[in-house]
Amino acid sequence: MPSQPRERLWFVLPGVLIIVLVLLIPILAALGLSFFSYPLQRPDLGIHFIGLDNFKRLLADTTFMNSLWRSVQFTVGAVASEMIVGTILALLLKSHVWGKSFFKVAFMVPMMMVPVVVGVAWRLFLLPDFTPLGPIFQFLHIPFDTSKLLTDPGWAMFSVILADVWQWSPFVMIMMLANLQGIPDDVYEAAQMDGASRWKTFWTMTLPLVAPALLSVAVLRAMDAVRTFDLVYILTSGGPGTATEMVSVYNYKIAFSRYDMGYASAVSTAVMIVLAVVIFGALYMLSRGGKKR
């Protein structure tokens, strides 16, 4: 191991350069472009500095506000469901169940799929002509029109959340399973000797021990869910109407349908700032929780 600081710097420098080239430069470019008017379809108009006009326009844009609210709805619904489903799967796989190794691999398959493929698969699955849900509902005498799953505004959001939960619950499962396996068996043996039920053991012992990990996983998933684009675009394209038009889809339409690159950059910058505030807030909560322990 090199002992001199300058020699150590050479090991860090490649990673720093990659971060600067791949992450920092695009962020600074988008931030700078948000202060300009840049109509891509009208190159004759050129690029003009307009200051904060794009951000003033953003604050008055009700479509943007509505899309941001839909992104919040999707993120809360998807992440909360994934935390519950993933934790339940982790608890089941931690216990002595038959075929545990097989189920660990099988549950991870959706997570390894490309979101576009997941979107196409779920679109085919939910289409009235292909979905097996219709015959199942008929057999169970449940009066539900499966065509609503992609055409009804309320059910369309539910369908998008369901597809995301199916793909990313395994990620929560893996993280929770790793944390559950790190809890000593002595803790559970002591709880059994005290006569605690499984529910009480989970609520008073297991959950507090894995709570920091739960919050960390929730933050990671929330960061990814807010930026979800391909799954939503393949499934519903933001429809029906604007029922599933989240901020990522709305920004795509501004940039590549209206070709208003300056305003699209302002939308990206605003979302980035909101995400940064939420992330730093969550990290602060995590650090405070660690100090208390």
The domain containing residue 219 runs over which residues? Answer: 62-292
Is 54 a domain residue? Answer: no
Asked if 254 contacts 263 with a C-beta cutoff of 8 angstroms, the reply is yes
Read off the pLDDT of residues 57-100 as tens digits, 9 standing for 90 and up. Answer: 999 999 999 999 999 999 999 999 999 999 999 988 887 777 77
Q: Is residue 39 part of a domain?
A: no
Residue 285 has a pLDDT of 75
How high does pLDDT run on average in the chain? 86
The model's pLDDT over 150-168, given as tens digits with 9 standing for 90+, comes to 888 889 999 999 999 999 9
We report the CATH number of the domain holding residue 173 as: 1.10.3720.10
Residue 7: inside a domain, yes or no? no
Give domain status of residue 132, yes or no: yes
Whether residue 34 lies inside any domain: the answer is: no
Pairing outcome for strands 48-49 and 36-37: antiparallel
The secondary structure of 161-225, three-state, reads HHHHHHHHHHHHHHHHHHHHHCCCHHHHHHHHHCCCCHHHHHHHHHHHHHHHHHHHHHHHHHHHH
Per-residue pLDDT of 95-141, as tens digits, reads 777 777 888 888 889 999 999 999 999 998 888 777 788 788 888 88
Q: What percent of the chain has pLDDT over 90?
A: 43
**Which DSSP symbol is given to 113?**
S
The predicted-structure confidence for 24-64, as pLDDT tens digits, reads as follows: 888 888 899 999 998 888 877 788 899 999 999 999 999 99
CA distance 251 to 249: 5
Whether 131 maps to a domain, the answer reads yes
* Number of domains the chain is built from: 1
Helix (H/G/I), strand (E/B), else coil: 270 = helix
The pLDDT assigned to 4 comes to: 65
Write the DSSP symbol of residue 1.
Answer: -
Q: Tell which phi-psi region holds residue 94, choosing left (phi > 0), alpha (psi between -120 and 50) or beta.
A: alpha
Whether this prediction's pTM lies above 0.85 is answered by yes
Instruction: State how far the Cα of 85 lies from the Cα of 231, in Å rounded to an integer.
Output: 20
Whether residue 77 is contained in a domain is answered as yes
Does residue 275 lie in a domain region? yes
Residue 293 has pLDDT above 70, yes or no: no
- Identify the residue whose tokens are 């009066």: 143
Highest averaged pLDDT of the listed ranges 45-49, 207-211, 268-272? 268-272
